[in-house]
DNA sequence: CCCGGCGCCTGAGGGC
DNA sequence: TGCCCTCAGGCGCCGG
């Protein structure tokens, strides 16, 4: 499930590949994934690719934008000039390459949108469960959404440092406003902090040794300091490792991430606590989300 | 304010 | 093998 590090990884990949190209066509294979008019997009040039929270923006000429949210199972996979994908796969098998990567075979049953560029390269928007979307919006609409719907970005993805708005006083002030909310739900609230989802909330809370069940009013200043630091470190590490592939996530080249090898609690219920405290990782449901933590370490 | 539940979806995985 | 059921989860929305 693409969170900040996964969308950041896709963003970087696409920046290297699609900037300067002109969108020649959009094929709509899946219903209701494209919100907006194809004709507002076709013929426009790609000026930039950026990210806010878990949202990826492709900035186009003429003050137009494509906004993507990948939700659970979304993918954005770029392929340079495809003459005939199926033939290429057949060729690779004939050449004795046994590796079978189903992402090589595009479009597939999860493909909802296909963008074709002026050099015949393609961008495939896949989304198995169809929760994701692609919206066509003006610069002003994007600016308003980015301003109104998302809290501060926690990390400068280039330097790996915390961003200036993501401070302990900010977190404490938000907590004062919503004192009874549990810390996990606080962390994953996009209006409070941008880009944290289920995986990195669990991992950050483990790193800070704070129970996901704690009401935020009980979090001490020192704990806020630790938690803020943990969020920055975990997100930074996840970006370095090109994101977590749990089920569907792949980058803009269809490659898996590496962060799943460094997760300590997420989906590790039943296993011994990695801090060797003697406890076992537990899985509970919190706010309808699977939540993984060590009840012995996390207080 | 907080929480639970539903809806949106489909494939994986368990039970029988 | 096969069928049915549940579950997974980001996020908006609704009702208690």
| Residue given tokens 């469960």 in the structure block | A129
Minimum CA–C1' distance nucleotide for A3 = C10
The gap between A157 CA and B13 C1' (Å) is 37
Residues sharing a CB contact under 8 Å with residue A282, sequence separation 6 or more, in sequence order:
A269, A292, A293, A294, A295
Supply the pTM of this predicted model.
Answer: 0.92
CA distances from A177 to A71, A88, A181, A206, A286 (A): 28, 57, 10, 24, 21
- Residue A120 approaches strand B within 7 Å at CB: no
A9: left (phi over 0), alpha (psi -120 to 50) or beta: alpha
Comparing every residue's Cα with the C1' atom of nucleotide B7, the nearest one is A131
> How far apart (Å, rounded) are the C-alpha atoms in residues A125 and A116?
11
Comparing every residue's Cα with the C1' atom of nucleotide B8, the nearest one is A131
The gap between A30 CA and C2 C1' (Å) is 30
Q: Where are the beta strands (DSSP E) in chain A?
A: 23-28, 34-35, 46-52, 55-60, 64-69, 74-79, 111-117, 122-127, 133-138, 282-286, 289-293
Q: Which of A222, A169, A174, A197 lies closest to A55, judged by CA? A: A197
Which residues sit opposite A51 in a β-bridge?
A56
Minimum CA–C1' distance nucleotide for A197 = C10
State residue A281's pLDDT score. Answer: 93
State residue A101's pLDDT score. Answer: 43
- Residue A213 approaches strand B within 7 Å at CB: no
Count, in order, helices (H) and strands (E) of chain A: 7, 11
> How far apart (Å, rounded) are the C-alpha atoms in residues A14 and A76?
9
> How far apart (Å, rounded) are the C-alpha atoms in residues A143 and A128?
29
State residue A92's pLDDT score. Answer: 29
- Residue A54 approaches strand C within 7 Å at CB: yes
CATH 3.40.640.10 fits A4-149, yes or no: no
- Residue A256 approaches strand B within 7 Å at CB: no
Q: Are A241 and A258 in contact (CB under 8 A)?
A: yes
Computed from CA positions of residues A241, A242, A248, A250, in that sequence, does the dihedral angle turn out positive or negative?
negative
- Residue A130 approaches strand C within 7 Å at CB: no
Q: Which of chain C's bases lie under 7 Å from a protein CB? A: 8-12
Q: Give pLDDT tens digits along chain A (299 positions).
A: 899 999 999 999 999 999 999 999 999 998 789 999 999 999 999 999 999 999 999 999 999 999 999 999 999 999 998 665 543 333 222 222 223 344 568 999 999 999 999 999 999 999 999 999 999 999 999 999 999 999 999 999 888 888 999 999 999 999 999 999 999 999 999 999 999 999 999 999 999 999 999 999 999 999 999 999 999 999 999 999 999 998 889 999 999 999 999 999 999 999 999 999 999 999 999 988 999 999 999 99
- Residue A131 approaches strand C within 7 Å at CB: yes
Fold adopted by A168-293: Helicase, Ruva Protein; domain 3 (1.10.8)
Coil vs helix vs strand at A74: strand
Residues 217-276 of A with CB under 7 A from strand C: none
Positions of A annotated as catalytic residues are 2-3, 54, 289
The gap between A19 CA and B4 C1' (Å) is 45
Minimum CA–C1' distance nucleotide for A177 = B1
Minimum CA–C1' distance nucleotide for A283 = C8
The gap between A277 CA and C12 C1' (Å) is 40
Kind and range of the H or E element at A149? none
> How far apart (Å, rounded) are the C-alpha atoms in residues A39 and A60?
13
- Intervals of CATH 1.10.8.50 along chain A: 168-293
Q: Which of A206, A255, A212 lies closest to A233, judged by CA? A: A206
- Intervals of CATH 3.20.190.10 along chain A: 4-149
State residue A292's pLDDT score. Answer: 94
Burial of A91 (0-12, 13-18, 19+ CB in 10 A): exposed
The gap between A1 CA and B9 C1' (Å) is 15
Coil vs helix vs strand at A110: coil
Minimum CA–C1' distance nucleotide for A130 = B9
The gap between A35 CA and B2 C1' (Å) is 33
Length of chain A: 299
């Amino acid at each position: 499930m693409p969170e900040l590090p996964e969308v950041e990884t896709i963003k970087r990949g696409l920046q290297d590949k699609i900037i300067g190209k002109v969108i020649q066509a959009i094929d709509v294979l899946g219903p209701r994934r494209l919100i907006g008019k194809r004709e507002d997009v076709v013929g426009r040039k790609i000026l930039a690719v950026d990210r806010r929270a878990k949202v990826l923006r492709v900035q186009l000429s003429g003050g137009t934008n494509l906004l993507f949210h990948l939700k659970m199972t979304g993918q954005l996979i770029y392929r340079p000039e495809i003459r005939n994908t199926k033939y290429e796969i057949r060729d690779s098998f004939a050449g004795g390459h046994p590796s079978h990567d189903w992402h090589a075979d595009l479009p597939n049953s999860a493909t909802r949108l296909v963008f074709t560029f002026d050099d015949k390269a393609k961008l495939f928007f896949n989304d198995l469960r169809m929760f994701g979307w692609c919206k066509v919006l003006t610069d002003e609409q994007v600016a308003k959404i980015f301003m109104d719907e998302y809290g501060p970005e926690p990390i400068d993805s280039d330097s790996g440092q915390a961003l200036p708005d993501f401070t302990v006083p900010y977190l404490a002030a938000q907590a004062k406003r919503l004192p009874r909310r549990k810390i996990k739900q606080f962390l994953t609230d996009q209006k409070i902090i941008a880009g944290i989802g289920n995986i990195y909330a669990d991992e950050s809370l483990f790193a800070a040794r704070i129970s996901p069940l704690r009401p935020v009013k009980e979090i001490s200043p020192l704990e806020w300091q630790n938690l803020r630091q943990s969020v920055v470190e975990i997100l930074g590490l996840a970006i370095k490792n090109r994101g977590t592939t749990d089920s569907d996530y792949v980058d803009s080249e269809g490659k898996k991430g590496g962060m799943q090898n460094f997760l300590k609690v997420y989906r590790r219920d039943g296993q011994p606590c990695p801090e060797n405290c003697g406890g076992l990782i537990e899985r509970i449901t919190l706010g309808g989300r699977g939540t993984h933590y060590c009840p012995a370490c996390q207080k």
